[in-house]
Protein backbone atom coordinates (compact mmCIF):
# COMPACT_ATOMS: atom_id res chain seq x y z
CA UNK A 1 0.00 0.00 0.00
CA UNK A 2 1.36 3.42 -0.94
CA UNK A 3 0.21 6.43 1.05
CA UNK A 4 -0.47 9.54 -1.02
CA UNK A 5 -0.21 11.98 1.89
CA UNK A 6 2.17 12.79 4.73
CA UNK A 7 0.24 11.85 7.86
CA UNK A 8 1.08 13.80 11.04
CA UNK A 9 -2.17 13.07 12.90
CA UNK A 10 -1.87 12.92 16.68
CA UNK A 11 -4.04 9.82 16.89
CA UNK A 12 -5.25 7.64 15.42
CA UNK A 13 -1.82 7.76 13.87
CA UNK A 14 0.02 6.68 10.78
CA UNK A 15 0.68 2.92 10.79
CA UNK A 16 3.31 0.90 8.89
CA UNK A 17 2.25 -0.18 5.39
CA UNK A 18 3.33 -3.69 6.30
CA UNK A 19 0.92 -3.83 9.24
CA UNK A 20 -1.99 -2.55 7.16
CA UNK A 21 -1.29 -4.85 4.22
CA UNK A 22 -0.97 -7.94 6.42
CA UNK A 23 -4.16 -7.05 8.25
CA UNK A 24 -6.03 -6.72 4.96
CA UNK A 25 -4.94 -10.26 4.10
CA UNK A 26 -6.04 -11.48 7.54
CA UNK A 27 -9.45 -9.92 6.91
CA UNK A 28 -9.73 -12.07 3.82
CA UNK A 29 -8.43 -15.34 5.26
CA UNK A 30 -6.98 -15.51 8.76
CA UNK A 31 -4.16 -18.06 8.97
CA UNK A 32 -5.84 -20.50 6.60
CA UNK A 33 -9.08 -20.72 8.60
CA UNK A 34 -11.24 -19.54 5.71
CA UNK A 35 -12.55 -16.81 8.01
CA UNK A 36 -11.70 -13.17 8.56
CA UNK A 37 -9.71 -12.37 11.68
CA UNK A 38 -12.79 -10.52 12.95
CA UNK A 39 -14.89 -13.68 12.59
CA UNK A 40 -12.70 -16.28 14.25
CA UNK A 41 -13.46 -17.41 17.81
CA UNK A 42 -11.31 -15.73 20.42
CA UNK A 43 -11.11 -19.16 22.08
CA UNK A 44 -9.61 -20.77 19.00
CA UNK A 45 -6.05 -22.07 18.78
CA UNK A 46 -5.27 -19.56 16.03
CA UNK A 47 -6.35 -16.60 18.13
CA UNK A 48 -4.56 -17.89 21.24
CA UNK A 49 -1.40 -17.92 19.16
CA UNK A 50 -1.94 -14.26 18.26
CA UNK A 51 -2.30 -13.29 21.93
CA UNK A 52 0.80 -15.25 22.90
CA UNK A 53 2.85 -13.83 20.03
CA UNK A 54 1.77 -10.26 20.80
CA UNK A 55 2.70 -10.60 24.46
CA UNK A 56 6.01 -12.21 23.53
CA UNK A 57 6.91 -9.28 21.28
CA UNK A 58 6.04 -6.77 24.01
CA UNK A 59 8.32 -8.62 26.41
CA UNK A 60 11.14 -8.90 23.89
CA UNK A 61 11.05 -5.33 22.60
CA UNK A 62 10.76 -3.67 26.02
CA UNK A 63 12.67 -6.32 28.00
CA UNK A 64 9.71 -6.72 30.38
CA UNK A 65 10.56 -8.79 33.50
CA UNK A 66 8.70 -12.03 34.17
CA UNK A 67 6.99 -10.70 37.31
CA UNK A 68 4.99 -8.26 35.15
CA UNK A 69 1.72 -9.21 33.48
CA UNK A 70 0.58 -7.69 30.18
CA UNK A 71 -3.05 -6.99 29.35
CA UNK A 72 -4.76 -5.77 26.18
CA UNK A 73 -8.07 -4.19 27.17
CA UNK A 74 -10.87 -2.22 25.55
CA UNK A 75 -11.72 1.33 26.49
CA UNK A 76 -8.48 3.12 25.67
CA UNK A 77 -6.26 5.06 28.06
CA UNK A 78 -9.19 7.14 29.35
CA UNK A 79 -10.69 3.98 30.82
CA UNK A 80 -7.32 3.15 32.33
CA UNK A 81 -7.46 6.43 34.29
CA UNK A 82 -10.28 4.83 36.27
CA UNK A 83 -8.69 1.36 36.36
CA UNK A 84 -5.57 2.78 38.00
CA UNK A 85 -7.36 4.62 40.80
CA UNK A 86 -9.87 1.80 41.31
CA UNK A 87 -7.14 -0.81 41.77
CA UNK A 88 -4.42 1.18 43.55
CA UNK A 89 -5.87 4.10 45.50
CA UNK A 90 -6.44 3.26 49.17
CA UNK A 91 -5.15 6.22 51.23
CA UNK A 92 -3.63 8.86 48.94
CA UNK A 93 -2.36 9.15 45.39
CA UNK A 94 -0.08 11.74 43.82
CA UNK A 95 -0.22 13.07 40.25
CA UNK A 96 2.18 15.13 38.17
CA UNK A 97 -0.08 17.52 36.28
CA UNK A 98 1.58 18.18 32.93
CA UNK A 99 -1.34 18.52 30.54
CA UNK A 100 -4.94 17.78 29.68
CA UNK A 101 -4.65 13.98 29.86
CA UNK A 102 -2.71 14.06 33.14
CA UNK A 103 -5.43 16.33 34.52
CA UNK A 104 -8.15 13.91 33.42
CA UNK A 105 -6.35 10.99 35.06
CA UNK A 106 -6.08 13.07 38.25
CA UNK A 107 -9.80 13.82 38.10
CA UNK A 108 -10.68 10.11 38.12
CA UNK A 109 -8.59 9.60 41.26
CA UNK A 110 -10.25 12.56 42.96
CA UNK A 111 -13.60 10.92 42.28
CA UNK A 112 -12.58 7.84 44.24
CA UNK A 113 -10.57 9.21 47.14
CA UNK A 114 -7.73 11.40 48.31
CA UNK A 115 -5.44 12.56 45.52
CA UNK A 116 -3.02 15.48 45.27
CA UNK A 117 -1.17 17.27 42.50
CA UNK A 118 2.46 16.91 43.54
CA UNK A 119 3.48 19.49 40.94
CA UNK A 120 1.90 21.21 37.96
CA UNK A 121 2.90 23.20 34.89
CA UNK A 122 -0.55 24.72 34.45
CA UNK A 123 0.86 28.17 35.32
CA UNK A 124 2.49 28.34 31.87
CA UNK A 125 -0.17 26.44 29.94
CA UNK A 126 1.76 23.18 30.34
CA UNK A 127 4.65 24.24 28.14
CA UNK A 128 7.26 22.64 30.46
CA UNK A 129 7.80 19.64 32.75
CA UNK A 130 7.86 20.55 36.47
CA UNK A 131 11.20 20.03 38.24
CA UNK A 132 12.54 20.16 41.76
CA UNK A 133 9.43 18.67 43.35
CA UNK A 134 9.46 16.05 46.11
CA UNK A 135 7.37 12.91 45.86
CA UNK A 136 5.70 12.28 49.25
CA UNK A 137 6.63 8.89 50.73
CA UNK A 138 3.10 8.25 52.04
CA UNK A 139 1.48 7.91 48.60
CA UNK A 140 -0.08 4.69 47.37
CA UNK A 141 1.35 5.59 43.96
CA UNK A 142 2.74 8.49 41.95
CA UNK A 143 1.29 8.97 38.47
CA UNK A 144 3.03 10.61 35.54
CA UNK A 145 2.12 11.17 31.89
CA UNK A 146 5.39 10.73 30.06
CA UNK A 147 4.42 12.53 26.83
CA UNK A 148 1.91 15.33 26.51
CA UNK A 149 0.45 15.27 23.03
CA UNK A 150 -1.46 18.54 23.17
CA UNK A 151 1.36 20.74 24.49
CA UNK A 152 4.39 18.96 23.08
CA UNK A 153 6.38 18.15 26.22
CA UNK A 154 7.93 14.86 27.28
CA UNK A 155 9.63 13.18 30.23
CA UNK A 156 12.45 11.46 28.37
CA UNK A 157 14.04 9.48 31.22
CA UNK A 158 12.76 7.00 33.80
CA UNK A 159 12.43 8.92 37.06
CA UNK A 160 13.21 7.54 40.52
CA UNK A 161 10.24 7.30 42.85
CA UNK A 162 10.07 6.28 46.55
CA UNK A 163 6.57 4.92 45.94
CA UNK A 164 4.94 2.84 43.21
CA UNK A 165 5.40 4.68 39.94
CA UNK A 166 2.51 4.60 37.45
CA UNK A 167 2.95 5.98 33.94
CA UNK A 168 0.60 6.77 31.10
CA UNK A 169 2.85 6.13 28.10
CA UNK A 170 0.15 6.32 25.45
CA UNK A 171 2.13 8.45 23.04
CA UNK A 172 5.76 7.44 23.56
CA UNK A 173 5.68 3.72 24.35
CA UNK A 174 7.97 1.71 22.05
CA UNK A 175 9.81 4.87 20.97
CA UNK A 176 12.71 4.69 23.44
CA UNK A 177 14.30 2.27 25.85
CA UNK A 178 12.37 2.05 29.16
CA UNK A 179 13.52 0.47 32.42
CA UNK A 180 10.23 -1.27 33.15
CA UNK A 181 11.45 -2.38 36.60
CA UNK A 182 11.22 1.23 37.81
CA UNK A 183 7.45 1.20 37.31
CA UNK A 184 4.64 -0.58 39.08
CA UNK A 185 2.31 -0.01 36.13
CA UNK A 186 2.71 1.29 32.60
CA UNK A 187 -0.40 1.77 30.49
CA UNK A 188 -1.67 3.59 27.44
CA UNK A 189 -3.84 3.65 24.39
CA UNK A 190 -2.40 1.88 21.36
CA UNK A 191 -3.25 4.48 18.73
CA UNK A 192 0.03 6.37 18.66
CA UNK A 193 2.87 3.93 18.11
CA UNK A 194 1.65 0.37 18.60
CA UNK A 195 -1.64 0.02 16.73
CA UNK A 196 -5.09 1.48 16.11
CA UNK A 197 -7.56 3.07 18.51
CA UNK A 198 -9.77 0.72 20.50
CA UNK A 199 -7.30 -1.22 22.64
CA UNK A 200 -5.21 -0.25 25.65
CA UNK A 201 -2.13 -1.99 27.02
CA UNK A 202 -1.31 -2.40 30.71
CA UNK A 203 2.03 -3.71 32.02
CA UNK A 204 1.51 -4.54 35.69
CA UNK A 205 3.83 -5.73 38.44
CA UNK A 206 1.58 -8.19 40.24
CA UNK A 207 2.61 -7.32 43.80
CA UNK A 208 0.98 -3.87 43.63
CA UNK A 209 -2.51 -5.37 43.32
CA UNK A 210 -4.91 -6.60 46.00
CA UNK A 211 -4.17 -3.83 48.50
CA UNK A 212 -7.38 -1.78 48.39
CA UNK A 213 -10.40 -2.37 50.60
CA UNK A 214 -13.02 -1.10 48.16
CA UNK A 215 -15.18 -3.33 46.03
CA UNK A 216 -13.79 -3.32 42.49
CA UNK A 217 -16.34 -3.93 39.73
CA UNK A 218 -15.43 -7.10 37.86
CA UNK A 219 -14.64 -5.44 34.55
CA UNK A 220 -12.36 -2.90 36.26
CA UNK A 221 -10.38 -5.42 38.30
CA UNK A 222 -6.88 -5.99 36.93
CA UNK A 223 -6.59 -9.24 38.90
CA UNK A 224 -9.65 -10.70 37.18
CA UNK A 225 -8.21 -9.94 33.75
CA UNK A 226 -4.82 -11.32 34.74
CA UNK A 227 -6.35 -14.52 36.13
CA UNK A 228 -8.25 -15.00 32.86
CA UNK A 229 -5.11 -14.25 30.81
CA UNK A 230 -6.74 -11.21 29.24
CA UNK A 231 -9.69 -13.25 28.00
CA UNK A 232 -12.32 -12.55 30.65
CA UNK A 233 -14.47 -11.18 27.85
CA UNK A 234 -13.98 -11.05 24.09
CA UNK A 235 -10.89 -8.94 23.45
CA UNK A 236 -10.78 -6.27 20.70
CA UNK A 237 -9.44 -8.79 18.20
CA UNK A 238 -8.80 -6.67 15.10
CA UNK A 239 -7.05 -4.00 17.17
CA UNK A 240 -4.77 -6.56 18.79
CA UNK A 241 -4.02 -8.16 15.45
CA UNK A 242 -2.92 -4.83 13.96
CA UNK A 243 -0.84 -4.28 17.10
CA UNK A 244 0.89 -7.61 16.49
CA UNK A 245 1.67 -6.69 12.89
CA UNK A 246 2.95 -3.26 13.99
CA UNK A 247 5.30 -4.84 16.53
CA UNK A 248 6.53 -7.31 13.93
CA UNK A 249 7.40 -4.34 11.72
CA UNK A 250 9.19 -2.63 14.62
CA UNK A 251 11.24 -5.72 15.38
CA UNK A 252 12.03 -6.12 11.70
CA UNK A 253 13.57 -2.67 11.35
CA UNK A 254 15.82 -3.18 14.38
CA UNK A 255 13.63 -2.70 17.46
CA UNK A 256 13.53 0.03 20.09
CA UNK A 257 17.11 1.28 19.82
CA UNK A 258 16.87 1.63 16.05
CA UNK A 259 13.52 3.43 16.07
CA UNK A 260 14.75 5.76 18.82
CA UNK A 261 17.71 6.70 16.65
CA UNK A 262 15.37 7.39 13.72
CA UNK A 263 12.94 9.35 15.89
CA UNK A 264 15.72 11.57 17.20
CA UNK A 265 16.77 12.41 13.65
CA UNK A 266 13.20 13.20 12.60
CA UNK A 267 12.63 15.36 15.66
CA UNK A 268 15.87 17.29 15.26
CA UNK A 269 15.12 17.93 11.59
CA UNK A 270 11.75 19.49 12.36
CA UNK A 271 12.78 21.47 15.45
CA UNK A 272 15.74 22.94 13.57
CA UNK A 273 13.34 24.21 10.92
CA UNK A 274 10.88 25.58 13.49
CA UNK A 275 13.74 27.48 15.15
CA UNK A 276 15.23 28.67 11.85
CA UNK A 277 12.08 29.66 10.00
CA UNK A 278 11.08 33.30 10.48
CA UNK A 279 7.40 32.41 10.07
CA UNK A 280 7.14 30.02 13.03
CA UNK A 281 8.01 29.67 16.68
CA UNK A 282 7.93 26.68 19.03
CA UNK A 283 5.66 26.67 22.08
CA UNK A 284 7.30 24.21 24.51
CA UNK A 285 10.41 24.91 26.58
CA UNK A 286 13.33 23.59 24.56
CA UNK A 287 14.69 21.24 27.22
CA UNK A 288 11.29 19.57 27.57
CA UNK A 289 10.31 19.38 23.91
CA UNK A 290 8.59 16.16 22.92
CA UNK A 291 10.25 13.88 20.38
CA UNK A 292 6.78 12.76 19.33
CA UNK A 293 4.57 15.86 19.17
CA UNK A 294 6.04 19.06 17.75
CA UNK A 295 3.94 22.11 18.60
CA UNK A 296 4.47 25.51 17.02
CA UNK A 297 2.59 28.69 16.07
CA UNK A 298 2.98 31.54 13.63
CA UNK A 299 5.71 33.93 14.72
CA UNK A 300 4.86 37.40 15.95
CA UNK A 301 3.69 39.55 13.08
CA UNK A 302 2.54 36.61 10.98
CA UNK A 303 -0.43 35.45 13.07
CA UNK A 304 -2.84 36.36 10.29
CA UNK A 305 -1.24 33.73 8.04
CA UNK A 306 -2.23 30.70 10.12
CA UNK A 307 -5.16 29.63 7.95
CA UNK A 308 -3.18 30.35 4.82
CA UNK A 309 -0.37 28.04 5.98
CA UNK A 310 -2.83 25.28 6.86
CA UNK A 311 -4.31 25.51 3.36
CA UNK A 312 -0.87 25.59 1.77
CA UNK A 313 0.22 22.54 3.78
CA UNK A 314 -2.91 20.63 2.81
CA UNK A 315 -2.35 21.42 -0.87
CA UNK A 316 1.12 19.93 -0.51
CA UNK A 317 -0.08 16.67 1.04
CA UNK A 318 0.36 17.43 4.73
CA UNK A 319 -2.36 15.90 6.91
CA UNK A 320 -3.07 16.40 10.61
CA UNK A 321 -0.87 19.39 11.42
CA UNK A 322 -3.57 21.60 12.88
CA UNK A 323 -2.97 22.14 16.60
CA UNK A 324 -5.33 20.81 19.24
CA UNK A 325 -8.50 22.90 19.47
CA UNK A 326 -7.60 23.96 23.03
CA UNK A 327 -4.28 25.59 22.05
CA UNK A 328 -4.45 26.32 18.32
CA UNK A 329 -1.42 26.69 16.10
CA UNK A 330 0.16 23.59 14.62
CA UNK A 331 1.21 20.14 15.76
CA UNK A 332 3.17 17.56 13.82
CA UNK A 333 3.20 14.12 15.41
CA UNK A 334 6.23 12.11 14.35
CA UNK A 335 5.26 8.68 15.62
CA UNK A 336 7.24 5.56 14.77
CA UNK A 337 5.69 4.90 11.37
CA UNK A 338 6.11 8.51 10.25
CA UNK A 339 9.14 8.46 7.96
CA UNK A 340 12.11 10.76 7.59
CA UNK A 341 10.84 11.50 4.08
CA UNK A 342 7.53 12.67 5.58
CA UNK A 343 9.37 15.07 7.88
CA UNK A 344 11.59 16.30 5.05
CA UNK A 345 8.44 17.05 3.04
CA UNK A 346 6.99 19.09 5.90
CA UNK A 347 10.24 21.00 6.32
CA UNK A 348 10.24 21.82 2.60
CA UNK A 349 6.62 22.95 2.86
CA UNK A 350 7.52 25.32 5.70
CA UNK A 351 10.48 26.72 3.77
CA UNK A 352 8.43 27.19 0.63
CA UNK A 353 5.77 29.03 2.62
CA UNK A 354 8.39 31.30 4.10
CA UNK A 355 9.85 32.07 0.68
CA UNK A 356 6.40 32.77 -0.74
CA UNK A 357 5.51 35.24 2.00
CA UNK A 358 8.70 37.22 2.56
Active site residues: 101, 168, 192
Question: Cα angle vertex 162, ends 160, 168, to 5°?
Answer: 60
Asked if residue 284 lies in contact with residue 152, where contact means CB atoms within 8 angstroms, the answer is: yes
- Tell me the residue ranges of DSSP E strands in 104-262: 115-120, 141-145, 147-148, 153-154, 165-168, 185-189, 200-205
Cα end-to-end distance, the chain, whole Å = 38
Reduced to 3 states (helix: H, G, I; strand: E, B; else coil), residue 20 is helix
Q: What is the CA radius of gyration of the chain?
A: 21
DSSP 8-state secondary structure symbol assigned to residue 219: G
Separation of alpha carbons 286 and 97, rounded Å: 19
134, 137, 140, 142: CA torsion to nearest 10: 20
Amino acid sequence: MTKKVHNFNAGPCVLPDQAIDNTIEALKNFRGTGMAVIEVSHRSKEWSEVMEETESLWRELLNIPENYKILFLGGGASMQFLYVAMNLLEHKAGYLETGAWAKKAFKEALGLGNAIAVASSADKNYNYIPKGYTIPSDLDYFHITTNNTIYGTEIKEDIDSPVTLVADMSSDIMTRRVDVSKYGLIYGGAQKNVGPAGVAFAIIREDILGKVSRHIPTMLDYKIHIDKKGMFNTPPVINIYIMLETLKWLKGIGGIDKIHEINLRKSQMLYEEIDRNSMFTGTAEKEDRSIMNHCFVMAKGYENLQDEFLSFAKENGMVGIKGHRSVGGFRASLYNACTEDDVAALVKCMRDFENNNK
